A and B are shown apart, each in its own frame.
Chain A
Amino acid sequence: MCDTERVQREAQEGLSWVMEQGAAYADVRVHLDDTAESLVMYDGNLEQNETLSQQGLGVRVLWGGAWGFCGTSDLRRVHDCFARSLGNARTAAALVAIPLEMGEMPGHRSTYQSPVQVDPFSLPLNERIDLLRGLDARLREDWIQRRIVMATTQKKTVQFWNSEGTCIEKRLTNVFGTVMIMAPDKDGQMQRRSHNLYTRGSGTRGWEMITDRELFGNHVDRVKQELADLLPADVLAHGRRSVILLPGQAWLQVHETIGHPLELDRILGYELSYAGGSLVTPGDIGTLRYGSERLNVSSFGNIENSPGSFGFDDDGTPERDYLLIDRGILVNVLSSRAMVNEVNHVAGRTVVKESGGAARATTFYRTPLERMTNVNILPGTDGTVEDIVAATVDGIIVDTPTSWSIGSNREHFHFGCEIAWEVKDGRRTRVLRNPTYQGHTIEFYNALDAVGDASSWRVEQVENCGKGEPNQIMQLGHGVPVVRFDNVLSGEKG
C-alpha cells in the first residue's frame, strides 16, 4: 500500500525539480482516499452494487507556454510522473501560437470540507440498501411496469500542491438519488416519471440529504400520480405558446445554453474538436444582451451544499461568487487562470479581470479545464409557480428532461420532457405527453418574461456532465426558480 509521507515528500521534490528545469508553473494532485458507490434497485432487485476506490496522482507542468500532463495510478513512480509531464510540456511547446500564462497568485495553505452530518460510507451497506428497498416498496403498483431507485455516493480527499507554495486539502462528499417509474400509455408507448434528489442550497450534504423526505422520499406519491395522469393524456400539439420550465427542467436549459457556452475554453476555441464552441465571442463580454432584463445568472452563488461547491478549484483558486449575466447583459464567463490573459488579448480590452475559479478535473488522471460550478438563475419577482401560471394565457408547464440536443455553438436547442401541463387562461387544464420544445438561445432568453421568486428556487444536482479530451465527467449544481418564456415552438409535427 501507499506510503503517504513518501508520496507527499516526492511530490514536493518533483515540484522543485521541474521548476529548476525551467518550468513556469507546476502543480500536483494526489488522491489517496477516493471512493464512489453506485446502488441501483431495478424492479426490486439490486442490479447494481458497485464500488470504485482509486489512488494516484496527476502532475501538470507549464513550460514554454504549453501544458504537459501525466497521470498515473502507480504511486511508486512519483518522480517518473514529473519527468514525463515536463517532457510532454517541452514537446507541446514546439507548436505554440499564443503562450499560456497562469498569472500570479500568492501561495496559500487552505483546507475545505463539504458540510456533512452523516458520512455515507460510515453506514453499513445494508442501511443504504434499506433506504432503496423502502422507496421501491412505495413505488410498487400493479400498473407500474418498471421501478428504478438509484443512489450514488462519492467521497474523496484531494491534496493539491503547486509551485507557488499553495497547499490545499479538500474533502468532498456528494450524494445523488433518483426514483423513476414507467408504464405504457394508451398507445402502448412507455412513459416515465422521475424525481432527482435536490437541495435548498443551504445545509449539509451527507447521507442525511437523501433521507430528508422533503428533498426525496415525499416525492414518490407525486411521481406516481403524475405518471398515472400521463398514460391517458393526449400528445402535445405542434405550435407556438408560452413555455413554463419548472426547476426540474430549467436546470438543464441553464446547463446547456448558459453554462456551457460561457465556459471560456469553449469561447476561445479549445473545445472545437469535441464538445464544441460557443455563440459568445470574447468581445461580447460586457456588451451582449443575452436575455431579457429579468435574467440574472450567477456562478457559485455561495451555495454551501451542492456538488458545484468545492472550496478551491484545481488551479488553487478559491471559489468566487460573481454574476455571469446582469439584468440580461453578459458580464463575465467561467474561467481558469490560464485563459485570462488570452481572452483579454483576443478581445483587445480587459473583459475578464481574474480567474473565476472554474478549473476542475474529474480525478487525478485528468487535467483541469473550465467547468461549471453552480450556475444559477437568481430568483425574480414574479411570484410563485401558481402566480406565474395564473398570469399565463396560453402555454404549457414542462418538467424533467428525456432528451437534449444542442447546436455545437449552443446557438440552438431541442429538449424533450417527461410531462407537460396545458395552461389556458391562467389555469392548468390537463396533462399532455411527449412534450418537446426548441429555440435559438439568444432569442429564447430575450423572451424570458417571468422569473419565480425564492419559493420556487432550488438547487438541482448534476451527476454526470461530460466534456473534454480525454473525456471527463463532472458533478455540479444549478440553482433555478420557475421561469416562463414567450412564443416558444413546442411539440412535434405529425
Chain B
Amino acid sequence: MLDAQTREILRDATDRARRRGIQASLLLHRERSHLLRLGNSSVSLNTTETLTRLKARVVDGCREATHTSLRELTSAQDALDTLEITVAKVREAPAREFEPILERVEEGVAQTGQYDPALAELDGTSKTEGYARIMRDIGPTPTYSGAWSSGATETYLISTATDDEAYHRCTDSQFSLVLKHPTQEWELRTDQSGWRVVDFSAERAVADIMRVLPVYQQREGIKVEPGTYTVLFGPQAMAEILGMALWTGFHGRMYEEKQGWTSHNAMGDTVFGANITVTDDPGDPDTFRYAFDLGGTKRRRYPLVERGCIAGLMYDIETAAKYKRPLTGHTTQTTSVVMDGGHGPDDALAAVVDRERVLWIPALHYMHVPSMAKGLFTGSSRFSAVVVERGKIVAPLFSSRVTESFQNLFNNLAVLAAERVSVNLSDTYGRRAPVAWSIPRYAVAEGVHITDSADSF
C-alpha cells in the first residue's frame, strides 16, 4: 500500500473536500525510472528520474477542471493547494451541456502482484553488463544501439464519491537492441518486455539476432516493386496495426462521432475474418495488469472483437458522460489487449513453407492513418525484414511501404501463430505508462499492398 504519510495526506484532503461539499478526485502518480541508452556501441546516456505528480479534478454540476502539480508532496498543505487551485478554476469554467462524471472508486483495491523489488532497484551497472555480454557474443563488427528502460510506478486514486481507495504498484522493463552495419547499413533489432528482472535474457537477445544476422551478412538487400504480396508480420508490426485499428474503430468517441472506420457498423457486425478475436483482458499475464482505470472503474475482461464481429467499444470517462454510455474501464492508456492465436506452428518459417515468396516484416516504422473513415493505414518496414522463399530466408528486404486497410488485412490473415508473446507498447511522454499486449507470435497476411520501396534499409 501507499506509504502511510502520503495516504494520510490524500485521505485528509479528500475528507476536507467532502465536508465542504466539493466533488473532487485526487490521483497520485509516483515513478522512479531508470534508462540506459546505448549508441555507437557506447553507453550514451544513463539516467534516473524520481517524480511525483498529484492531479486534482473537481466537478461542480456541469462544470469541470483539473490541475496537476508535479513536485514533491511533503505536507497536507501541498495537496490542499492543488485542490484549491482546481476549485478556483472550476468556478470560472462555463457549464457544459452534459454533466461530467466524477471519478468513483468502484471497489477498494491494492494491486501489487506485478512488482519485483529487484527490478525496481535495477541500475545501470547490470544493464551495462547485459549489453556488454551481448556485444561480446555477437562480435564487434556492427555498431550497437538500444535502450533499456525500467522503473517502479505507484498509482493511487481517491475521490469524494466513495470511501474506497484504488492503489497499484508495479515494475516494468522494456529492452531493445539495434545492430547497424557501418557500411552495408542494415539494421537488426530485438526487444524484450517484462515486469521482473528474470524476464530479461541476454541469451534470448543473441539468439533472436542470430536468426537473421547470417543472411544480412551474406546477401544483398532486395527491393520489391509495388504490388500485392503475402506478408509474414511479426508481433510488433501486428500490435502496431491492431493498435491503430482499435484507436480509429473501437474507441467510443470515434464511433459516436462517426470519425472512424466502424462508424457505419452496428454492434455484432462482421468487420474482420472469423479467426480474429480481440479482448481487453486485465488478467492476462503477458500484459501489464491494471485492476482499475483512472476513473476508478474496475477493469474487467472486455471483448472487443469476437470471431470477426464487433463486440464492444471502449469509452473513457469524458465520452461516456457526453454520450451517456456506461463506463467500460477505458479511462486509461494502460490496456491489456489480447489477440487470440490461431493454429499456426511455433516456427514462423514452417507456416509459410508452402508459399513461393513471402515478405517477413517484423515491425513497421511510423505508422499513420491517411483515412480514419476508410480504415486506411500506412507504414514502412524496418529492422530485420527479410524475403522468405518456400520457408527459407533468402535475402534482406529493403525498406518497403505497406498501405492497406484494416478491413482487408484482418479479413485476410491466413495463418495466426498459436503462441502469443508479450509486446511492450509503453511510452514515457510525460509520466511513465507501462503497456504490454499479448499478440500472436506471427500472422500471415495475404494480398497486402506494398505501395513504395527504397533501395536501402
In the assembled complex, how far is the CB of residue B321 from the closest CB belonging to chain A, in whole angstroms? 9
Do B40 and A268 touch across chains, with their CB atoms under 8 A apart? yes
Residues in A whose Cβ lies below 8 Å from that of B65: 49-50
Question: Closest A-chain residue to B35, C-beta based?
Answer: A470
Residues in B whose Cβ lies below 8 Å from that of A145: 257-258
If A74-B72, A270-B44 touch, does A49 touch B93 (CB 8 Å cutoff)?
yes
Do B373 and A277 touch across chains, with their CB atoms under 8 A apart? no
In the assembled complex, how far is the CB of residue B27 from the closest CB belonging to chain A, in whole angstroms? 13
Question: Closest B-chain residue to A187, C-beta based?
Answer: B373
Interface positions of B from 371 to 386, Cβ below 8 Å from A: 371-374, 376, 378-380, 382
Residues in A whose Cβ lies below 8 Å from that of B259: 146, 182, 190
Do B40 and A97 touch across chains, with their CB atoms under 8 A apart? yes
Residues in A whose Cβ lies below 8 Å from that of B449: 493
Do B48 and A70 touch across chains, with their CB atoms under 8 A apart? yes
Residues in A whose Cβ lies below 8 Å from that of B380: 405-408, 412
Interface positions of B from 67 to 118, Cβ below 8 Å from A: 67-72, 74, 85, 89-90, 92-94, 96-98
If A51-B85, A54-B71, A492-B370 touch, does A92 touch B43 (CB 8 Å cutoff)?
yes
A190 to B399, CA, bound (A): 32
Q: Check if A367 is an interface residue, CB within 8 A of chain B.
A: yes
Do B71 and A89 touch across chains, with their CB atoms under 8 A apart? no
Q: Check if A393 is an interface residue, CB within 8 A of chain B.
A: no
Do A96 and B42 touch across chains, with their CB atoms under 8 A apart? yes
Question: Closest A-chain residue to B123, C-beta based?
Answer: A91
In the assembled complex, how far is the CB of residue A5 from the closest CB belonging to chain B, in whole angstroms? 18
Q: Check if A157 is an interface residue, CB within 8 A of chain B.
A: no
Q: Check if B441 is an interface residue, CB within 8 A of chain A.
A: no
Do A414 and B43 touch across chains, with their CB atoms under 8 A apart? no
In the assembled complex, how far is the CB of residue B276 from the closest CB belonging to chain A, in whole angstroms? 23
Do A277 and B187 touch across chains, with their CB atoms under 8 A apart? yes
Question: Closest A-chain residue to B380, C-beta based?
Answer: A407
Do A91 and B124 touch across chains, with their CB atoms under 8 A apart? yes
Residues in B whose Cβ lies below 8 Å from that of A72: 49-51
Q: Check if B367 is an interface residue, CB within 8 A of chain A.
A: yes
Do B370 and A71 touch across chains, with their CB atoms under 8 A apart? no
Q: Check if A88 is an interface residue, CB within 8 A of chain B.
A: yes
Do A469 and B366 touch across chains, with their CB atoms under 8 A apart? no
Residues in A whose Cβ lies below 8 Å from that of B189: 273
Do A70 and B49 touch across chains, with their CB atoms under 8 A apart? yes
Do A98 and B399 touch across chains, with their CB atoms under 8 A apart? no
Encoded as 1 (CB less than 8 Å from any B CB) or 0, chain A from 387 to 430 comes to 00000000000000011111111011010100000000000000
In the assembled complex, how far is the CB of residue B302 from the closest CB belonging to chain A, in whole angstroms? 24
Interface size on B, residues (CB 8 A): 91
A108 to B124, CA, bound (A): 34
Contact residue among B42, B46, B53, B430 (Cβ-Cβ distance under 8 Å from A91): B46
Q: Check if A487 is an interface residue, CB within 8 A of chain B.
A: no
Q: Check if B353 is an interface residue, CB within 8 A of chain A.
A: no
Q: Check if B389 is an interface residue, CB within 8 A of chain A.
A: no
Do B52 and A367 touch across chains, with their CB atoms under 8 A apart? no
**Interface size classification for chain A:** 35 or more
Interface positions of A from 67 to 97, Cβ below 8 Å from B: 67-76, 84-85, 88-89, 91-97
Residues in B whose Cβ lies below 8 Å from that of A92: 36, 43-46, 124, 128
Q: Check if B451 is an interface residue, CB within 8 A of chain A.
A: yes
Binds B, one of A121-129, A203-211, A351-359: A121-129
Q: Check if B147 is an interface residue, CB within 8 A of chain A.
A: yes
A367 to B189, CA, bound (A): 25
If A276-B365, A411-B399 touch, does A56 touch B376 (CB 8 Å cutoff)?
no
Do B149 and A66 touch across chains, with their CB atoms under 8 A apart? no
Question: Closest B-chain residue to A39, C-beta based?
Answer: B93
Do B145 and A414 touch across chains, with their CB atoms under 8 A apart? no
Q: Check if B132 is an interface residue, CB within 8 A of chain A.
A: yes
Contact residue among B33, B264, B399, B451 (Cβ-Cβ distance under 8 Å from A407): B399
Residues in A whose Cβ lies below 8 Å from that of B49: 70-72, 365, 470
Encoded as 1 (CB less than 8 Å from any B CB) or 0, chain A from 22 to 50 comes to 00000000000000000000011111011
Q: Check if A381 is an interface residue, CB within 8 A of chain B.
A: no
Do A44 and B67 touch across chains, with their CB atoms under 8 A apart? no
Q: Check if A170 is an interface residue, CB within 8 A of chain B.
A: no
Interface positions of B from 131 to 181, Cβ below 8 Å from A: 131-132, 143, 145-147, 149, 176-178, 180
Q: Check if A471 is an interface residue, CB within 8 A of chain B.
A: yes
Do B64 and A414 touch across chains, with their CB atoms under 8 A apart? no
Contact residue among A69, A97, A125, A190 (Cβ-Cβ distance under 8 Å from B372): A190
Residues in A whose Cβ lies below 8 Å from that of B68: 50-53
Do A269 and B72 touch across chains, with their CB atoms under 8 A apart? no
Do A98 and B42 touch across chains, with their CB atoms under 8 A apart? yes
A365 to B47, CA, bound (A): 9
Do B374 and A438 touch across chains, with their CB atoms under 8 A apart? no
Q: Check if B270 is an interface residue, CB within 8 A of chain A.
A: no
7 closest Cβ contacts across the A-B interface?
A: A189-B373, A416-B370, A54-B70, A270-B39, A92-B43, A91-B124, A92-B46
A–B pairs, 12, beta carbons within 8 Å? A47-B322, A50-B66, A53-B70, A69-B46, A70-B47, A97-B42, A125-B92, A272-B178, A273-B176, A273-B189, A412-B454, A470-B149
Interface of A with B (CB < 8 Å)? 2, 43-47, 49-56, 65-76, 84-85, 88-89, 91-98, 100, 124-126, 129, 133, 145-146, 182, 184, 188-190, 265, 268-274, 276-277, 279, 365, 367, 402-409, 411-412, 414, 416, 434, 436, 438, 440, 466, 469-473, 489, 492-493
